[in-house]
Amino acid sequence: MRTGVFVCWCGLNIGGVVDVPRVVQEISGYPGVARAVDYRYMCSDPGQQLIKDTIREERLDSVVIAACSPGMHEATFQTVAESGGVNPYRCEIANIREQCSWPHQNEPGKATRKAVELIRAAVEKVRGDEALSALSIPVTRRALVIGAGIAGMQAALDIAEAGHEVVLVERLPHIGGHMAQLSETFPTLDCSQCILTPKTSEVGRHPRIRLVTNSEVESVSGYVGNFTVRIRRRATYVNWDLCTGCGLCTEKCPSKTPSAFERGLAKEPAVTIAFPQAVPHKPVIRAEACRHLTSGKCGVCEKACPVGAIDFEQQDLLLEEKVGAIVVATGYDLHPKAKVGEYGYGVYPDVIDGLEFERLNSASGPTQGEIRRPSDGKVPKEVVFIQCVGSRDQENGYPYCSKICCMYTAKHARLYKHKVPDGQPYVFYMDIRAGGKGYEEFVQEATDEGVLYLRGRVARVFQDGDRLVVFGVDTLSGKKVEIHADMVVLATAIVPASGAKELARTLKLATDRYGFFSEAHPKLRPVESLTRGIYIAGCAQAPKDIPDTVTQAGSAAAKVLALFSAERLSHSPTVAAVDEELCSGCGVCVEACAYDARTLDVRRRVAVVNDVLCEGCGTCAVACPNGATRQKNMARSQVLSMIDAVVG
């Protein structure tokens, strides 16, 4: 064996603690080491050249790079090794930064010794490494997008425009997400529907987008490039193939209950099209509200429909789709009512949340865009807006900042002032977070227009006659303040969409403790999940506004397109393998594998590894009672000699 050892200083990161020349000197004499050299930045171009030159000069057949975590540069050095003529799987990394110089900054002597030991172990490992070649897997160039808010629609459009088919699954009967509920949008105050409908109709008619609404993903199997997805389309009780969207049924339906789209501020019939611009423009029957479906009576809509599209017998439909990539864009919900007891949210009708305010201000909303309070329809003359409700409140809500409420509260206060010029808006805030193009200017205009900002939180809101009493504080003047208001608007925390955690389980994705999907790296891989082939976009990942959502959706689409740019993908060959002579077919490994990569061949009674599903984690190798499982390039003998190199 002729191994080259390349020790990196990483500037002072390693070199400031570990005595690098000494390490080189000690490792030079180690069995199998043909040459050891050091360099200031091994990942730099000259560093890489040094490796390639040394491989040639010393006719190396394997290399060990002693540097930072393999998570950072393993791929870099594998490529360098390969271009120098060494099999990339005979290139090993000894992590002497994260596992040595950083944690042992105060003990340079011991750190130096540990660096030598880590390198020796890597040399032992590389000694047993086989020359392998990457596996290759086919890619189905079709994408699934879950959630059709602005994030999901944008990602779907970008992928479809690039020439690939997209299956877009939306839980609600219509697409558009929360943007469809907004009235006007910061920082430009353009009408939300006006900028949204071009997108919804484009999605609705795009030849390469298969829209599946009123549906949810039930199961997902497979792996990057080759997912199989099962989707349940819930019964709508209306045959959409026949339905012309004329809406006669919705006019005739006698059973009216609160509308979720209007956030309970208006009622809608049991057979309903949630709003005029809805795409698809087809009604659904809400089973829980329908008299026919709950008690067998009524059936008025059936008689009203001129084309006989009402179908009370309709069943859920199970669809199966094959896709190569998945984008999760399930968006957000608002902090639930029951949890804001001190503000009487859910108890006093005139204490509302931000989305309810959007509906009050919306031309197609319950008040045709006039600001009238829910209890008695009066135009409120004094309105208190409270920010950070449930946000930045670890004790009674969530510790995080919801990011968008400072901006939309400024927007609400201004919109209110525009519609009720003699009204007085007050905003209780803790800090104004208005970083963004044109954002700070937008907030300053609010104060110019007469919005009064008070710096402090509110302790309590209660009803007194037909007004609401607000106990607040203004910490800038050091005064406790009491405001008697006609309406109170709460900027409640943004939380993940209901069901996000369940979906994460279905997709085997990680979320944070609140249920926001976790990105692979908070800075460098913000749209990738930890599972290859699955991407995240929009508020499903964290609270954000429309510009950020659209940006992230575009970048998720770009990742999908990169994946689809080749017909085949490569997959690491360092997977598990079965020695069929030793395997008894007991199936312990099948149970142990977290990636469903193992099956039992019943006929031959041996375990089989699906190479492309195998992540090389090694769980099966440990679980196998017969020693029949081998992890390629992590053989038992390799591990034992690594241990010997360290302790012996």
Partner 1 sequence: MVSSENRRKLLDISGEDVTSCYQCGKCSAGCAMAAMMDLLPHQVIRLVQLGQVEEALASRTIWLCASCLACSARCPRGVSLPNVMESLRVTLLRLGGRHLDPVRLPADVLENAPEQALVAGLRKYT
Partner 2 sequence: MGYSYFPGCTLRAKARGFESSALASARVLGIHLEELANWQCCGATFPLQVDNSFPLVSPARTLASARRMGERLVTLCSACYNVLKRTNHVMRTDADRRDKVNAFIEEDYRGDLEVVHFLEVLRDDLGFDALARSVKVPLSGLAAAPYYGCLLLRPADELAFDDPEAPHILEDFLSALGCRVVDHPYKIECCGSYVALEPGELASGPSRMVVESARARGARVIVTSCPLCQYNLDVSQQGAHGRNGAGVPVIYFTQLLAIALGLPEDVLGFEGHVISPGPLLRSIGAMGSEATA
Nearer to partner 2, 341 or 625 (CB): 341
Residue 396 interacting with partner 1 (CB under 8 A): yes
CB distance 347 to 375 below 8 Å: no
Convert residues 316-345 into a mask of x (bound to partner 1 by CB under 8 A) and - (unbound). --------------------------x---
66: helix, strand or coil: strand
Nearer to partner 1, 381 or 479 (CB): 479
User: According to CB under 8 A, which one of 469, 481, 520, 635 is a site residue for partner 2?
Assistant: 469
- DSSP states of 103-159: TTTT-HHHHHHHHHHHHHHHHHHHHHPPP---EEEE---EEEEE--SHHHHHHHHHH
In 3D space, the residue among 398, 351, 392, 394 whose CA is nearest the CA of residue 496 turns out to be 398
Task: Say how far apart CA 209 and CA 129 lie, in whole Å.
Answer: 47
Smallest gap from Cβ 412 to ligand FAD, in A, equals 8
Residue 341 binding: pick among ligand SF4, ligand FAD, partner 2, none (C-beta 5-8 Å cut-off by kind): partner 2
Number of Cβ within 10 Å of residue 7's Cβ equals 27
Residue 456 interacting with partner 1 (CB under 8 A): yes
In 3D space, the residue among 359, 215, 364, 195 whose CA is nearest the CA of residue 280 turns out to be 215
Question: Which one of 89-97, 280-288, 320-328, 338-346 is the stretch in contact with partner 2 (CB under 8 A)?
Answer: 338-346
CB distance 161 to 209 below 8 Å: no
Q: Which are the contacts of 44, defined by CB distance < 8 A and separation ≥ 6?
A: none
Number of residues that bind partner 1 (CB under 8 A): 24
User: According to CB under 6 A, which one of 51, 60, 91, 146 is a site residue for ligand FAD?
Assistant: 146
> Cα–Cα–Cα angle for 114, 120, 122, nearest 5°?
105
Residue 402 binding: pick among partner 2, ligand FAD, ligand SF4, none (C-beta 5-8 Å cut-off by kind): ligand SF4
Instruction: Count Cα neighbours of 299 within 13 Å in the Cβ-side half-sphere.
Output: 8
Residue 601 binding: pick among ligand FAD, ligand SF4, partner 2, none (C-beta 5-8 Å cut-off by kind): none
Which residues face 216 on adjacent strands?
232
Question: Which one of 204-212, 337-345, 537-545, 585-593 is the stretch in contact with partner 2 (CB under 8 A)?
Answer: 337-345
**CA 237 → CA 60, 178, 286, 468, distances in Å?**
71, 25, 9, 43
User: According to CB under 6 A, which one of 299, 499, 526, 585 is a site residue for ligand FAD?
Assistant: 499
Task: Say how far apart CA 629 and CA 633 lie, in whole Å.
Answer: 12
**E strands present in 156-275:** 165-169, 184-185, 190-191, 209-212, 215-223, 226-233, 256-258, 267-269, 271-272
Q: Identify residues 203-222 at the interface with ligand FAD (CB under 6 A).
A: 216
Task: Say how far apart CA 307 and CA 244 lie, in whole Å.
Answer: 8
Task: Say how far apart CA 613 and CA 619 lie, in whole Å.
Answer: 14
User: According to CB under 6 A, which one of 185, 236, 387, 631 is a site residue for ligand FAD?
Assistant: 185
Smallest gap from Cβ 481 to ligand SF4, in A, equals 15
- DSSP states of 598-622: EEEETTTTEEEE-TTT-----HHHH
In 3D space, the residue among 254, 282, 258, 253 whose CA is nearest the CA of residue 268 turns out to be 258
Nearer to ligand FAD, 99 or 277 (CB): 277
Task: Say how far apart CA 441 and CA 446 lie, in whole Å.
Answer: 9
Q: Identify residues 330-359 at the interface with ligand FAD (CB under 6 A).
A: 330-332, 354-355, 358
User: According to CB under 6 A, which one of 114, 120, 403, 411 is a site residue for ligand FAD?
Assistant: 411
Nearer to partner 1, 430 or 617 (CB): 430
Q: Which phi and psi (to 5°) does residue 203 adopt? A: -60, -45
With the CA atoms of 458, 463, 467 and 472 taken in that order, what torsion angle do they form, in degrees rounded to the nearest 10?
Answer: -10
Nearer to partner 1, 460 or 505 (CB): 460
Question: Which one of 173-181, 201-209, 416-424, 448-456 is the stretch in contact with ligand FAD (CB under 6 A)?
Answer: 173-181
Which residues face 222 on adjacent strands?
227
List of residues contacting ligand SF4 (CB under 6 A): 387-388, 391-392, 401-406, 430-431, 433, 491
Residue 462 binding: pick among partner 2, partner 1, ligand FAD, none (C-beta 5-8 Å cut-off by kind): partner 2
User: According to CB under 8 A, which one of 463, 518, 551, 555 is a site residue for partner 2?
Assistant: 463
Residue 347 interacting with partner 1 (CB under 8 A): no
Task: Say how far apart CA 422 and CA 380 lie, in whole Å.
Answer: 10
Smallest gap from Cβ 463 to partner 2, in A, equals 7
Residue 330 binding: pick among ligand FAD, partner 1, ligand SF4, none (C-beta 5-8 Å cut-off by kind): ligand FAD
Residue 171 interacting with ligand FAD (CB under 6 A): yes
Residue 17 interacting with partner 1 (CB under 8 A): no
Q: Which phi and psi (to 5°) does residue 462 adopt? A: -145, 160
Nearer to ligand SF4, 155 or 454 (CB): 454
How many residues appear in the chain?
A: 648
Q: Output the residue with the shortest Cβ distance to ligand FAD.
A: 149
Residue 406 binding: pick among ligand SF4, ligand FAD, partner 1, none (C-beta 5-8 Å cut-off by kind): ligand SF4
Instruction: Count Cα neighbours of 464 within 13 Å in the Cβ-side half-sphere.
Output: 11
CB distance 284 to 238 below 8 Å: yes
Residue 323 interacting with ligand FAD (CB under 6 A): no
Amino acid at 227: F
Residue 341 interacting with partner 2 (CB under 8 A): yes
Smallest gap from Cβ 340 to partner 2, in A, equals 9
- DSSP states of 274-294: SSTT-SS---EE-GGG-HHHH
Smallest gap from Cβ 107 to ligand SF4, in A, equals 41
Nearer to partner 2, 194 or 347 (CB): 347
Task: Say how far apart CA 212 and CA 588 lie, in whole Å.
Answer: 40
Residue 459 interacting with partner 1 (CB under 8 A): yes
Residue 342 interacting with partner 2 (CB under 8 A): yes
User: According to CB under 8 A, which one of 30, 462, 514, 595 is a site residue for partner 2?
Assistant: 462
Amino acid at 451: V
Nearer to ligand FAD, 222 or 436 (CB): 436
Residue 401 interacting with partner 1 (CB under 8 A): no
Smallest gap from Cβ 190 to partner 1, in A, equals 33
Residue 535 interacting with ligand FAD (CB under 6 A): no
Which tokens is 187 given? Answer: 């920082």
Smallest gap from Cβ 330 to ligand FAD, in A, equals 3
> Which residues of the shown chain bind partner 2 in the complex (CB under 8 A)?
341-342, 344, 347, 460, 462-464, 469
> Which residues of the shown chain bind ligand FAD in the complex (CB under 6 A)?
146-152, 169-172, 177-179, 182, 185-186, 216, 329-332, 354-355, 358, 404, 408, 411, 497, 499, 503, 538-540, 544-547, 549
> Which residues of the shown chain bind partner 1 in the complex (CB under 8 A)?
342, 388, 392-397, 430, 455-460, 471-475, 478-481
